[in-house]
Amino acid sequence: MSEFADDVAKALHRRMRRRKLAFFAVGAALLALIAYFVTCGHGFGLGGRGNGSGVGPGIVAASDAGPARCTVRVGKSGYSVDGKTSATRDDVVETCKKTGTAEVTVTGDAREGSWTELKTALEAAHVAIYVR
């Protein structure tokens, strides 16, 4: 029986050693994590605070909204282009030729023929069409 008791004691000792190692490893990892968060709050935390004041105009990026598009609405009452209501198809094509692109909104009550005619005219004038 003493041999069996020795084996059990060795197994318990190994288990306890592994448990201690795991506990210290987790503790060391937590300490490293705490040190990282405390020191890396100011830049990367490596090399000090630097010699600049941190005040300046910054970089102003130019906003590129893309090319200008004429806004066309095809509805029951006809066409409207760039806020101008009651425009003719030729007015729409002339206005959109200047920008080269048209953003078209076709309402639910628009006549199908009106949209088809406008689309054909804009394509013939080589105007890019974006339908909303």
**Mean pLDDT of the chain, nearest integer:** 84
> Residue 49: which pLDDT band, with cuts at 50, 70 and 90?
low
d(CA 4, CA 106): 88
> Residue 61: which pLDDT band, with cuts at 50, 70 and 90?
low
pLDDT digits (tens, 9 = 90+) for 62-79: 666 667 888 999 998 889
* DSSP 8-state symbol, 105: E
Q: How many CB atoms lie within 10 A of CB 110?
A: 18
pLDDT given at position 21? 94
For the chain, give every domain's residue range.
Answer: 1-51, 70-131
> Residue 123: which pLDDT band, with cuts at 50, 70 and 90?
very high
d(CA 93, CA 91): 5
Pairing relation of β-strands 70-75 and 78-81? Answer: antiparallel
pLDDT given at position 50? 64
Q: Model pTM?
A: 0.50
For a pLDDT cut of 90, what percent of the chain falls above it? 41
* Mean pLDDT, residues 93-114: 90
pLDDT given at position 129? 92
pLDDT given at position 42? 57
Burial of 93 (0-12, 13-18, 19+ CB in 10 A): buried
Residue 43, SS3?
coil
Are 79 and 111 in contact by the 8 Å Cβ rule? The answer is: no
